[in-house]
Structures are given as C-alpha cells and as structure tokens.
C-alpha cells in the first residue's frame, strides 16, 4: 500500500525525534532554506559551511550573512556579537527565560512575521576536513542568546545522528542518500523540534522551536496538508518510502565501508592527510562518538602529495579524472562510491562518498589512480 506524503513525513519526523517534518524539492539545503522564507533580510544568518559558501552567498546575498571557520560555540557567539564563550551575555537571558508551563512564543509573532532574529547554521559533519559539530554545546549557547540553531544532517543522515534530540531547533537533510539515489528530482526534508520537552516540574518550553514551526508552516503549509509546490511526485514518494524502510541496513554498509577505506588511505604513502571522524588523527575524534551513531558517516576527505609545477586544485582534479571509482555520472546517494573536488581558498581535497559497492574494489581503483597520479604517462 502506497503511503501518502503526510504519512512519510510523520514517520521521518518520528525517526528524527521531531514535532513535524516537510518534504519539498530543492537543489540542496541552502536552496531549501532560502525557498521557505524562514530567514528575512533583517535577520542575521551565521554559517559554518565553507564547502557550501558559494551556495549560501548566492541564495542569501540580500541579507546579513556571516561565515565562521570553526563549528564551535565560541565562534558563533563571537560572530553574534556576544564575545567568546558568551561572557557578554546579560543577566536575565538564557535559562531564566524558561517557564514551567505555557509557551511565551505561541503568540509572540504573527505567522510569517520576522523580528530581526539570529540564526546559526552548522552541519553535523561538514566543512572541509569533515568537522563534527558539538550540537549540545551549540544548542546551550544558542539558548542563552536567543538564537535559532539549524543543523544540516545530510552527511550523517537520520540514521547517523538525531540533532533535534541533542538540542537543535531545526534539522534539514538532502534526501539523495535516504532515497538511495532514486529520486527524479532533488528533494530536502526539514524537521522542527518539539516546542515543549519534559513533564511536570521538568517541563521546559523552547520558544525558538515554536517560532520555527509557525514560520515553516506558513511557508510549506500544515504538515498534514502541504502546499502544492511542496508536493513530491508519486514515483519520488515510492522511492522515499522504500528508502526510509531500508535506510538502516544501507547506511550501516556506507559507514562500515567508509571506515575501511579511510584506514586504507591513511596508510598510503602518496596521501598527505586523511580527514575522517573515525580516525584518531581527526581533530574531532574524541567528540564524534557522542554526536554520531552507528559509525562516523559515509564521507572521507583527503589531500594528495602534489608537485611544485601544478596547483593543489589542478592536482586533485587530475586525480579524480583518472580514478575509475569517481562515478560522477551516477546519481548522488546511490550504491556507487562517488568522488568530488572540494576547494577552499588555497586548499583542495578529494571528497569520497562511499557507497554500498565492494570496498576492496574501491580501494583497488584508488590504488591504481594513485599510482597513475604519481607516475603520469609521458606526453
């Protein structure tokens, strides 16, 4: 029996630990964030996503946009104007605002109205070098200054992390991997945290989550009756239904294969550095197990030992072009391992999204490409 979009959205929201979820077509998460109109020109959007900087600059060129280099509370607080570690936060904000019952945000603003809010955007796994964000710490800091925390959960997926349960107000995820690369058009899910948590004396109200729900519902409609432009096609709904049911099995394979390939690359003499949260050398290796579940995600970044006569970006592109397992022509999120080039300022990396295909075959393709990269044929 085919499930409706509303039924799939509620199932997805339940898996995320959220109040409600919506699906809509969008090229990527920044595109979706711009389409729903959650952030107005007078709002302040602070972003830690240097691998998507161009997309944010294109979609939010009319607003107040600030980038931070580190996915830490100190970096976001400083960019918000509060000073590192929130030392400048005045008395009477933060936990003092939480009340035992009722929601002070329920009637704070008319639906669709904006009030010069501050939004923090971070990925569970993101940026160059695949940094892992301490969502609990960010959520606590955001609550102190009244910021709304938005988390991009695309790389980890709903199987690998539940940002809403860690304190985020909004969770977004591109659905390529959830639907196993079978979507006809790219789609994104957006989930909102419950506005109230706990019971009795432990009941806590989250005003920013209530605001987020009202503003997103204004743009995308009631979760049970989404607006027409937010409706997915029947074929895409079928692909999404199958993908949600099979996600745990598939994502566990993605994660396990990525761990094996990351270990292989870390031992290769021609690989300069490997960035994977499951490796001890990663800057967030100690934090990752407390944020991620069932492994450390399907993505790996690594840099190459280049030559003096070519730029890092050119060397990385040359390597990807020579690698048989790059699979740039297959849909994102499917079973095949895919590669791309990530550039940031003067640095360039190879990014691998490991599939469910044979990791030994992928390692063999990487080995052959690395040999060819180090010893290119004579012209």
Q: What is the pLDDT of residue 1?
A: 55
d(CA 186, CA 108): 34
Asked if the domains 5-234 and 247-374 are classified in one and the same CATH topology, the answer is no
Q: In terms of C-beta density within 10 A (0-12 exposed, 13-18 middle, 19 or more buried), how is residue 267 classed?
A: exposed
Q: Where are the domains of the chain?
A: 5-234, 247-374
CA 145 vs. chain centroid, Å, equals: 23
Q: What is the pLDDT of residue 81?
A: 87
Q: What is the pLDDT of residue 99?
A: 28
Q: What is the pLDDT of residue 105?
A: 36
Q: Tell me, yes or no, if the pTM score tops 0.85.
A: yes
Q: What is the pLDDT of residue 41?
A: 86
Is the CATH code 3.40.640.10 the one for domain 5-234?
yes
The beta strands (E) that lie in 43-180 are given as: 44-48, 64-67, 118-123, 125-126, 131-132, 148-152, 170-174
Q: What is the pLDDT of residue 310?
A: 65
Is the CATH code 3.90.1150.10 the one for domain 247-374?
yes
Tally of CB atoms within 10 A around 128:
19
Sequential pLDDT tens for the chain (379 residues): 578 999 999 999 999 999 999 999 999 999 999 988 888 888 999 999 998 999 999 999 888 999 999 999 999 999 998 766 555 555 444 443 332 233 333 334 444 445 688 999 999 999 989 999 999 999 999 988 889 999 999 999 999 999 999 999 999 999 999 999 999 999 999 999 998 776 767 777 778 888 889 889 988 888 888 777 778 999 999 999 999 999 999 999 999 999 999 999 999 988 989 999 999 999 999 999 999 999 999 999 999 886 556 677 888 888 888 888 888 778 888 899 999 998 877 778 999 999 999 999 999 999 999 988 877 665 5
* 48, 116, 349 from 43: Cα distances, Å: 16, 4, 33
Q: What is the pLDDT of residue 331?
A: 82
The beta strands (E) that lie in the chain are given as: 20-25, 44-48, 64-67, 118-123, 125-126, 131-132, 148-152, 170-174, 187-192, 196-197, 204-205, 221-222, 225-226, 271-275, 299-304, 338-344, 347-353
d(CA 48, CA 36): 20
Structure tokens at 160: 């690998």
Q: Are 262 and 276 in contact (CB under 8 A)?
A: yes
Q: What is the pLDDT of residue 59?
A: 92
3-state secondary structure of 16: helix
Q: Are 240 and 179 in contact (CB under 8 A)?
A: yes
């Amino acid at each position: 029996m085919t499930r409706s979009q509303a039924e799939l959205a509620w199932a997805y929201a339940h898996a995320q630990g959220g109040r409600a979820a919506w699906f809509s077509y969008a090229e990527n998460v920044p595109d979706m964030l711009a389409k729903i109109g959650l952030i107005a020109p007078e709002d302040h959007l602070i972003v830690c996503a240097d691998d998507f900087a161009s997309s944010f600059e294109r979609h939010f060129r009319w607003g107040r946009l600030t980038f931070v280099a580190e996915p830490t509370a100190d970096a976001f607080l400083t960019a918000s104007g509060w000073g590192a570690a929130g030392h400048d936060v005045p008395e009477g904000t933060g936990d003092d605002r939480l009340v035992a019952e009722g929601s002070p945000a329920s009637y704070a603003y008319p639906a669709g109205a904006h009030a010069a809010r501050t939004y923090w955007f971070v990925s569970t796994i993101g940026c160059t070098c695949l940094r892992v964000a301490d969502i609990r710490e960010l959520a606590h800091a955001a609550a102190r200054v009244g910021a709304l925390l938005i988390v991009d959960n695309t790389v980890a997926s709903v199987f690998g992390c539940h940002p809403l349960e860690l304190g985020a107000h909004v969770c977004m995820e591109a659905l390529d991997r959830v639907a196993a690369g079978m979507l006809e058009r790219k789609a994104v899910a957006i989930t909102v945290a419950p506005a109230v948590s706990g019971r009795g004396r432990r009941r806590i109200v989250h005003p920013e989550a209530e605001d987020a729900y009202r503003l997103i519902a204004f743009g995308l409609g009631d979760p049970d009756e989404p607006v027409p432009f937010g409706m997915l096609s029947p074929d895409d709904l079928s692909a999404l239904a199958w993908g949600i049911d099979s996600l745990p099995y598939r994502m566990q394979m993605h994660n396990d294969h990525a761990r094996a390939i990351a270990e292989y690359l870390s031992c290769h003499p021609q690989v300069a550095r490997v960035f994977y949260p499951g490796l001890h050398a990663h800057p967030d290796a100690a934090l990752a197990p407390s944020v991620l579940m069932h492994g450390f995600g399907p993505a790996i970044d690594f840099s190459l030992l280049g030559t003096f006569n070519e730029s890092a970006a050119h060397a990385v592109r040359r390597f990807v072009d020579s690698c048989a397992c790059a699979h740039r022509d297959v849909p994102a999120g499917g079973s095949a391992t895919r590669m791309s080039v990530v550039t940031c300022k003067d640095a360039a990396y190879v990014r691998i999204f490991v599939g469910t295909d044979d990791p030994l075959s992928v390692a063999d393709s990487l080995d052959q490409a690395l040999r060819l990269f180090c010893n290119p044929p004579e012209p």
